[in-house]
Copies of this chain bind each other. A is one copy, B any other.
Amino acid sequence: MEAEIIAVGTELLLGDILNTNAQFLSRELAQLGINVHFQSVVGDNPERLESVVNLARSRSDLLIFSGGLGPTQDDLTKQTVAHAFGDELRFDEEELDKIRAFFTAWGRTMPENNRRQAYVPVHGRKIENHNGTAPGMIFEDTRAPGKYAVLLPGPPYELKPMFLDTVRPWLAAMTRSALHSETLRVMGVGESHLEEKIGHLLENENPTAALYAKTAEVVIRVTAKADTPEHAKEMCEEYAQKFYAILGDKIYARGEQPIEYATVAALRAAGKTAALAESCTGGLVAKRLTDVPGASAVFGYGACTYSNGIKEKMLGVRHETLEAHGAVSSETAAEMARGVRRVSGADFGIGITGIAGPDGGTDEKPVGTVYMAVADAENTYVQKLVLTGRTRATVRESSAQHAFDMLRRIALGLPQLTAQRFDSEEPAHLREQTTALRDA
């Protein structure tokens, strides 16, 4: 089956909005094994729309439209497609009731314009829209059965659920396949090392597996195609286990949630609390931690200590430590971690200090040099990151990412991958002993 994707909307041609629907639909169709040969965008112009519809109909079996179903858009898309596919539109009282109810639920009366959204195909079928007023629709070409046009509304929060709930299962049934995907999130091993370890698992035909490098983490997407959804899920699960066998606890979670969710979950599971002392990350770690609803159960205090004086005053970092080793050093990171733990009364203290750039780098400590420490009652773990070739923003994001993984591993009682452990009472000479992690 060969498909093309057509977006209708002048706002796309003016560059006012980005065509994220095309990416979403393309990816979904690729997963179904349906080839997308063309994407097009056309405005709300009758002749140009008609020429695009006719051309697409002549060269593809499946046309997926986004947009052009709004109440102010004059039914142009529906009518043009209905005409090209030998169908007609009828007024649907049931649909009108739904549209009216949608407005009532928001305490408003329905504008007259919205009536026209109640026109649906005579031969084709409508697709329910739970997040807006415009129903979607599927036309089958009355003169060339097996050729389809699917019309979906433009707003992504309407289009996506309609595609996933209705169009995808329909296409999967037609292509006799059910799909299931699992996303594995990996920290603590760079992309190139990862390819060495699991490259052989990425060559498979079904399930497929693909790597996506993100800031300081890698995401593995496993997708299986089978005759039933249950079977596809089972295949995915079985294949995912091969990754677990190699990567173990470096897979920190499944799904779309970033690592701070796993860290909060690990702290909750351990019944432990954490406090933060941030210098170069400047509140980013606290911000990401508190992005997680319910973070207050495990987090009470984050200190953004952006000057030496404040590090001394708020965290009790010793003046001599700052003098002897500098603010960006493993010694300072360790004292920050211990200090914030002590003043807050939390179970774990985290200290992060580094040079995010663009200025402030030296030969010895270039931009991207970051020291971080986690202290508990007995131990202080310290690691050095050298995040070269990065922007200020990515140095900070990478640092936060590593801090979350360090804390997650400690909360779960897992061994630290690159950090060195020290007795929390014995702070001297940490610098010489820290290991350098060179991150791709």
Q: Which residues of A contact B (CB under 8 A)?
A: 12-20, 22-30, 35-43, 45, 48, 52, 55, 276, 278, 281-287, 289-291, 293-296, 299-307, 309-310, 313-314, 343-344, 357-359, 392-393
Cβ contact within 8 Å between B306 and A295: yes
User: CB-nearest residue of chain B relative to A314?
Assistant: B301
- Residue in A36, A41, A42, A313 whose Cβ sees the most chain B Cβ within 10 Å: A41
Cβ contact within 8 Å between B39 and A13: yes
User: CB-nearest residue of chain B relative to A16?
Assistant: B27
- What is the minimal beta-carbon distance from A308 to any residue of chain B, in angstroms? 9
- What is the minimal beta-carbon distance from A74 to any residue of chain B, in angstroms? 18
Which residues in B have their C-beta under 8 angstroms from that of A393?
291
> Contacts A37-B43, A304-B283; is A19 near B17 (CB within 8 Å)?
no
Cβ contact within 8 Å between B43 and A40: no
- What is the minimal beta-carbon distance from A239 to any residue of chain B, in angstroms? 20
User: CB-nearest residue of chain B relative to A304?
Assistant: B302
Cβ contact within 8 Å between B306 and A310: no
**17 A-B pairs with C-beta separation under 8 A:** A12-B22, A13-B35, A18-B18, A37-B48, A39-B39, A276-B304, A281-B290, A282-B286, A282-B287, A282-B291, A283-B283, A283-B287, A284-B290, A291-B392, A301-B303, A301-B306, A301-B307
Which residues in B have their C-beta under 8 angstroms from that of A20?
18
> Apart from A278-B283, A303-B303, A303-B314, what are 14 other A-B pairs with CB-CB below 8 Å?
A12-B22, A13-B36, A13-B38, A15-B24, A17-B23, A37-B45, A37-B48, A282-B289, A284-B287, A293-B357, A300-B310, A301-B306, A303-B304, A310-B344
* Identical copies of this chain, number: 2
Which residues in B have their C-beta under 8 angstroms from that of A23?
12, 15, 17-19
User: CB-nearest residue of chain B relative to A26?
Assistant: B15
Q: Please report the C-alpha to C-alpha distance between residue A296 and residue B52 in the assembled complex, in whole angstroms.
A: 56
Which residues in B have their C-beta under 8 angstroms from that of A305?
300-301
Cβ contact within 8 Å between A283 and B293: no
Q: Please report the C-alpha to C-alpha distance between residue A235 and residue B29 in the assembled complex, in whole angstroms.
A: 49
- Residue in A16, A26, A314, A392 whose Cβ sees the most chain B Cβ within 10 Å: A26
Nearest 8 pairs between A and B by C-beta? A282-B290, A283-B286, A15-B27, A15-B26, A302-B304, A283-B283, A39-B41, A300-B307
- Pick the residue among B27, B42, B301 that contacts A37 (CB under 8 A): B42
Cβ contact within 8 Å between A306 and B290: yes
Which residues in B have their C-beta under 8 angstroms from that of A291?
282, 392-393
- Pick the residue among B22, B29, B282, B302 that contacts A295 (CB under 8 A): B282
Cβ contact within 8 Å between B310 and A283: no
- What is the minimal beta-carbon distance from A166 to any residue of chain B, in angstroms? 19
Q: Please report the C-alpha to C-alpha distance between residue A200 and residue B195 in the assembled complex, in whole angstroms.
A: 59
> Contacts A55-B55, A283-B286; is A306 near B314 (CB within 8 Å)?
no
Which residues in B have their C-beta under 8 angstroms from that of A29?
15
Cβ contact within 8 Å between A30 and B14: yes
- What is the minimal beta-carbon distance from A349 to any residue of chain B, in angstroms? 14
Which residues in B have their C-beta under 8 angstroms from that of A295?
282, 306
Q: Please report the C-alpha to C-alpha distance between residue A27 and residue B14 in the assembled complex, in whole angstroms.
A: 5
Which residues in B have their C-beta under 8 angstroms from that of A296?
306-307
- Residue in A17, A300, A358 whose Cβ sees the most chain B Cβ within 10 Å: A300
Cβ contact within 8 Å between A19 and B16: no
Cβ contact within 8 Å between A41 and B43: no
- What is the minimal beta-carbon distance from A208 to any residue of chain B, in angstroms? 12
Which residues in B have their C-beta under 8 angstroms from that of A310?
300-301, 344
Cβ contact within 8 Å between A42 and B38: yes
Cβ contact within 8 Å between B306 and A304: no
> Contacts A302-B303, A393-B291; is A38 near B40 (CB within 8 Å)?
yes
